[in-house]
Chains A and B, each alone.
Chain A
Amino acid sequence: MLEVNGIVKKYNNFTLSCNLKVESGRITGIIGPNGAGKSTLFNAVLGLIRIDEGEIKLFGKNIKSLTDSERENIGVVLSESGFSGYLKVGDVGTMLKAFYKDFDEADFKKKLTDFKLDPGKKVKELSTGMKAKLHVIAALSHKAKLLILDEPTAGLDVIAREEVIDMLRQYMEEDDSRTIVISSHISSDLENLCDDFYMINDGEIIIHEETDNLLSNYAILKVDKDKFDELDKKYLVRYKEESYGYMCLTNERQFYMDNYPDTVIERSGIDELIGLMIRGKEL
């Protein structure tokens, strides 16, 4: 569905350099701290910036040669950019109808009602959360095969976030060939949604892992200094000094549970993973 092959994008003080492959029918999460390169990666995939090296393929074709008709198969939500603030919410539907052959007007209007979006209100008058809802609804409105969602839940409260995540799940259930690439700084949104993750930092992919593997095999070990010296470190990915000793990240939880039964071993969530991968030291 989406292939990012050896792309490089250089800025004065930042370089994005990565490979990525997203299979059809999957939900792939892109995680990483602010400024890691997530939005730059999305910009590159969407052809909004020129890349210095490498190639990006969508639907098996170089993105530069995608036709308008093929681009209709992509639904996009971007952080900090969207429909013109001078359009009314209801106008967005009229506009999308003219852009997309498969635009489902009835469903779009129904979702506007469900999310209490006033069709007569201008986009610039909406709150951040309401804008986010409008953009997600719009991205889902034309039966796109691929959704590229950069921070789609930004600015939403817990209930609205759950509603959006549910909409994405339902969207995938309707057609198993559909694909989503999504970034969010709210890891719980992604943990329960994604099939796999790419973690990006300083413009490079530092982990690609299946969610099941991540949640079952990655773990946090909390040990004092003596215990740390004793530990077999071959499955430790990162470690970080703490007041009590060391916090270590492993990708072989079972190994340490079997061999160090008296050690505190906690399952690693995405937040802990990001924290240790970024701030921890490599062995």
Chain B
Amino acid sequence: MKGLLVKDFILVKNQCKTLLAFLVLGFLMSMSMKDNAGVVYMVMIISMFSLSTIGYDEFDNGFRFLFTLPASRKAYVREKYLFYIIFLFVGLVAGCGVGFLAEMFKDTGSVQNYFDTLGESVVGSIMIGSVYAGMLIPIRIKYDAEKAKLVNFGVFGGIAAIAYLIFRLKDNAGEVVVKIMETINGLSDIQIASAMIAFAVIVLLISELIAEKIIAKKEYN
């Protein structure tokens, strides 16, 4: 696992110019957007950046050689999730820092709004990012980059369709959805945040188990 982590840190280090560009873009977005949307953007971009290492591993049939090194396939999968979590925290720190700086430069004269919405931005980006990573990692391990793009498109299209159906159901006074919404509305902020974080953790755990099963069946010719 140590070797895999070192490899991934080196790969990210070698792409640091791209990462720096994302930071600048995040700063500009934070300057121009309300309610810490720039923070969410930063967290998402930086944490997802960690997963680009799968593409670097795959480059030029690289998986074949990588799996001859002293690291099991299971370790490879686990390392990818660990690396994602590390970068999720890096993204949180960078996002909050850049967001705060941007807020200082704004003409609002106060950073109060930044602190008012920071909590929900952080928890929201952890949940959205983790759900996205939870779907993306198994897909990338199963398919090459090109196929994965198509599968991603299909999966997220499917999710959008389901979300649309749920909202249509709500408009039509679907009792279950209304009850769920009422329950959520009745929860405190801490309870909602805890539930969102727990959901993110569960998604990542299930995703990791699926990715392990996928990689165990893969053949590298």
Contact = CB atoms under 8 A, between A and B. Distances in A.
A4 B106 CA distance: 69
Given A48-B219, A76-B68, A91 B10 contact: yes
A183 B210 CA distance: 37
User: What 9 pairs across the A-B complex have the smallest Cβ distances?
Assistant: A99-B3, A98-B6, A71-B70, A81-B64, A76-B68, A98-B3, A81-B65, A68-B70, A48-B220
B194 interface: no
B14 A69 contact: no
B71 A95 contact: no
Given A71-B70, A97-B6, 18 more contacts: A43-B219, A49-B219, A68-B71, A72-B70, A74-B70, A78-B64, A81-B61, A82-B60, A84-B59, A85-B56, A86-B59, A87-B10, A88-B14, A91-B10, A100-B3, A124-B59, A124-B60, A148-B68
A99 B68 CA distance: 11
23 contacts: A43-B220, A49-B219, A68-B75, A71-B69, A72-B70, A74-B68, A78-B64, A80-B60, A81-B60, A82-B60, A83-B65, A84-B7, A84-B11, A84-B60, A87-B11, A87-B14, A94-B10, A95-B3, A95-B10, A96-B3, A98-B2, A100-B70, A124-B59
A82 B56 CA distance: 12
Interface residues of A, number: 35
Contacts of B66: 84
Interface size class of B (residues with CB under 8 A): 20 to 34
A69 B69 CA distance: 10
Contacts of B67: 46-48
A279 interface: no
A190 B64 CA distance: 25
Contacts of B56: 84-86
Nearest to A88: B14
Interface of chain A, main secondary structure: mixed
Interface string A41-73: 001001111100000000000000000110110
Contact of A86 (B15, B61, B63, B69): B15
B221 interface: yes
Contacts of A74: 68, 70
Given A98-B2, A99-B3, A82 B65 contact: yes
Contacts of A50: 219
B220 A76 contact: no
A69 B70 CA distance: 7
Most buried by B among A74, A76, A84: A84
A153 to B, nearest CB: 17
B158 interface: no
Contacts of A81: 60-65
Contacts of B63: 81
Interface string A90-130: 01001111111000000000000000000000101000000
Contacts of A80: 60-61
B57 interface: yes
Contacts of A100: 3, 70
A111 B59 CA distance: 25
B72 interface: yes
Contacts of A76: 65, 68
Contacts of A97: 6
Contacts of A69: 70
Contacts of A83: 62, 65
Contacts of A78: 64-65, 68
Nearest to A80: B61
Nearest to A75: B68
Contacts of B71: 68, 99
Interface string A135-163: 00000000000001000000000000000
Given A48-B221, A78-B64, A91 B14 contact: yes
Contacts of B3: 95-96, 98-100
Contact of A85 (B7, B59, B75, B219): B59
B60 A49 contact: no
Contacts of B57: 84
